[in-house]
Amino acid sequence: MKKIIFRVDDRLIHGQVIEGWLKHFKINHVVIANDKVADNPLQKMIYASTLPPGTELSILTVADFISSFRSDRYKKDYVLVLLESVDDLYAIKSMINDDVYVNIGCVASREHKIEVSNTVFLNPDEIRKICEIRQDFEVFIHKVSWEPSVEIKNFNYILEGNL
């Protein structure tokens, strides 16, 4: 597994993330890149209290994450960057490189969303954004580490109604 994981999961930190990613890969640094959480002291406290002892947590706005990403801080340890939405992933797409594992874990069903897996529901705009990222980098649907991942190859078929 690559040392840096960008994971889209609208629940951010929860049991599957802790058991299936942090413990499985011995990740010791979690970054939540989310504007709403970064501005909410109560949510910050709640998320900090859920992590195993010794796990560092950084909660940053998306813009602050982009500014800090090139620092050596993210190169020494395994890092899990949690994003709430495909829009947030798209906003940081310039940070994606061959050392980053891009993972769509869970995006809940909502009105006008298309089911692309049992845990991922996307609207046409989100599908287009993932297709754009996929032109340069691999993107996977991967719920938990011990289950097989599914590489997203061509979501354009979904937009064309061929699912």
pLDDT score at 148: 72
CB 6 within 8 A of CB 96: yes
Show pLDDT as tens, one digit a residue, over the chain (163 residues): 678 899 999 999 888 888 888 888 889 899 999 999 999 999 999 999 999 998 999 999 999 999 988 776 777 778 999 999 999 999 999 999 888 999 999 898 888 888 888 888 998 899 899 989 988 999 988 888 777 787 776 666 665 655 4
- Judged on CB neighbours under 10 Å (0-12, 13-18, 19+), 129 is buried
Ramachandran class of 60: left when φ > 0, alpha when ψ lies in -120 to 50, beta otherwise: beta
pLDDT score at 158: 61
pLDDT score at 33: 96
* Prediction pTM value: 0.89
pLDDT score at 41: 95
d(CA 83, CA 6): 7
**Helix (H, G, I), strand (E, B), or coil: what is residue 46?**
helix
pLDDT score at 20: 82
pLDDT score at 157: 61
d(CA 137, CA 130): 10
pLDDT score at 1: 62
**Taking every pair of C-alpha atoms in the chain, what is the biggest distance, in angstroms?**
47
The values of phi and psi at residue 29, to 5°, are: -145, 120
In the chain, the domains with their CATH numbers are 4-159 (3.40.35.10)
